[in-house]
Amino acid sequence: MPKVLITGNEALAEAAVRAGCRRYFGYPITPQNEIPEFMARRLPEIGGTFIQAESELAAINMVYGAAAVGERAMTSSSSPGISLMQEALSFMAASELPAVIVNMQRGGPGLGNISPSQADYFQAVKGGGHGDYKLLVYAPSTIQEIVDLTVLAFDKADEYRNPVMILGDGVLGQMMEPVELPDITPKTVDKPWALTGAKGRPGKVIRSLFMLPGEDGALERQNYKMKAKYDRMCEHEVLCEMVQTDDAEIVLVAFGTSARIAKTAVHLARVEGIKAGLIRPITLFPFPEKIIAEIAGRAERFLVVEMNLGQMVEDVRLAVNGKAPVAFYGRPGGAVLAVDDILSAIHNCVHGKEPEKIYTGSE
């Protein structure tokens, strides 16, 4: 298949179209504007719907409506816009509606800046809205992976009847790489729950409110039903790349853009004779905790590298569960990590007396 040189944002949008997404609703925000702009051109050509919504609140609720009638629908935004969508994401998870949500993260908190960041990890993986729920979260680190995971995201959203998030960042959205865009026949999924009009049957209801008379305990039961789904995701959906972890004494853990940079640092460390390796979670929820726990049994130490003040590191520590020291190196506020800085963090870790110290970036 011939490769095309394309930005991450456009690759994602085209992959969504190929995965059968015909409904896109969004509100402009940098660094993901190429997605709505691409969809505004592309979807009308193929009988799809593009709407520039009046806000991210409206955009996600349009997705919600389209999902409820059985369509493959998506929205994309960046950090502040994703914050505005959290209420609807909680409702959609509770109502068991599939959809794909893209967050090309930027520096925060607040309006922050438009530089790439990974500071929305907690929001993405811990259920950023209210109540007990989870999104299935994919963290691509190349443009090809953006394409492949976008297609997978639509399938998994339908399979689990749950919103799925693709957590990228400004680097991944804006960067160009050669990719193969697969010719796929989108999976057609039976959606007996979708609202289609009550022809020849009683009316159907999609809801997240469970307080009718006689419904005592219904919400608790719904929560357990959702938990069973998240447990199934943990069982079957974990994706993770491992680089030279078999004999690694120091294991880096990083996702997305950080993982690309960390991978180079690991290779440079190997050249120096340091036995370094990398675990790259591709799904952030479900988290590859079993893999990390297993490697923690033989590695001497861990170094978590993120473009934030230390978020995924908490999940790594839980997975390692005291079996090895876990250090953190990261930079917040839209600062991109440098290979050299990661390498010196590796040096500090290997030789330093306080492996749990937080290493700050050199300015």
Partner 1 sequence: MHKVFSRPSSLKDKPFRYCPGCSHGVLHRIVGETIDLLGVRDRAIGIAPVGCAVFAYDYFNIDMIEVPHGRPPAIATGMKRSRPEAIVFSYQGDGDLAAIGTAEIVHAAARGENITVIFVNNGNYGMTGGQMAPTTLPGQKTTTTPGGRDVRLAGNPLRMCEMLATLDGPVYIERVSVDSPRNVQNATKAIQRAFKNQIEGRGFSFVEALSMCPTDWGLTPKQALEWVRNSMMKYYPLGVYKDIGSAQGVKGQERMGQV
Binding site for partner 1 (CB under 8 A): 22-23, 25, 49, 51, 53-55, 57-59, 61-71, 73, 87-88, 91, 95, 195-200, 202-209, 212-213
Q: Which is nearer to partner 1, 85 or 167 (CB)?
A: 85
Task: Determine the Cα–Cα distance for residues 346 and 274; give it in Å rounded to an integer.
Answer: 9
Measuring CA to CA, which residue among 166, 173, 104, 169 is closest to residue 135? 166
The minimum distance between CB 213 and partner 1, in angstroms, equals 8
Measuring CA to CA, which residue among 170, 165, 151 is closest to residue 78? 170
The minimum distance between CB 80 and partner 1, in angstroms, equals 16
Q: Which is nearer to partner 1, 209 or 358 (CB)?
A: 209
Q: Whose structure tokens read 């010196």?
A: 344
The minimum distance between CB 233 and partner 1, in angstroms, equals 24
Q: Which is nearer to partner 1, 188 or 362 (CB)?
A: 188
What distances in angstroms separate CA 204 from CA 69, 93, 211, 263, one per listed residue?
A: 11, 18, 17, 50
Q: Which is nearer to partner 1, 77 or 117 (CB)?
A: 77
What distances in angstroms separate CA 92 from CA 304, 316, 341, one per listed residue?
A: 32, 28, 41
CB 265 within 8 A of CB 346: yes
The minimum distance between CB 212 and partner 1, in angstroms, equals 6
Q: DSSP string of 236-269?
A: H---EEEES-TT-SEEEE--HHHHHHHHHHHHHH
CA angle 9, 36, 15 (to 5 degrees): 45
The minimum distance between CB 166 and partner 1, in angstroms, equals 20
CB 306 within 8 A of CB 318: no
The minimum distance between CB 208 and partner 1, in angstroms, equals 7
Q: Which is nearer to partner 1, 217 or 297 (CB)?
A: 217
* First-to-final CA distance of the chain: 44
What distances in angstroms separate CA 96 from CA 134, 194, 216, 231, one per listed residue?
A: 11, 11, 20, 15
3-state secondary structure of 40: helix
Measuring CA to CA, which residue among 115, 105, 104 is closest to residue 8? 104
Q: Which is nearer to partner 1, 73 or 304 (CB)?
A: 73
Q: Which is nearer to partner 1, 60 or 304 (CB)?
A: 60
Q: Which is nearer to partner 1, 122 or 193 (CB)?
A: 193
3-state secondary structure of 304: strand
Q: Which is nearer to partner 1, 59 or 343 (CB)?
A: 59
The minimum distance between CB 293 and partner 1, in angstroms, equals 38
How do strand 23-26 and strand 49-52 relate by DSSP bridges? parallel
Q: Which is nearer to partner 1, 62 or 175 (CB)?
A: 62
Task: Determine the Cα–Cα distance for residues 284 and 228; give it in Å rounded to an integer.
Answer: 18
Q: Is the peptide bond before 109 cis (omega within 30 degrees of 0)?
A: yes
Task: Determine the Cα–Cα distance for residues 141 and 240; give it in Å rounded to an integer.
Answer: 12
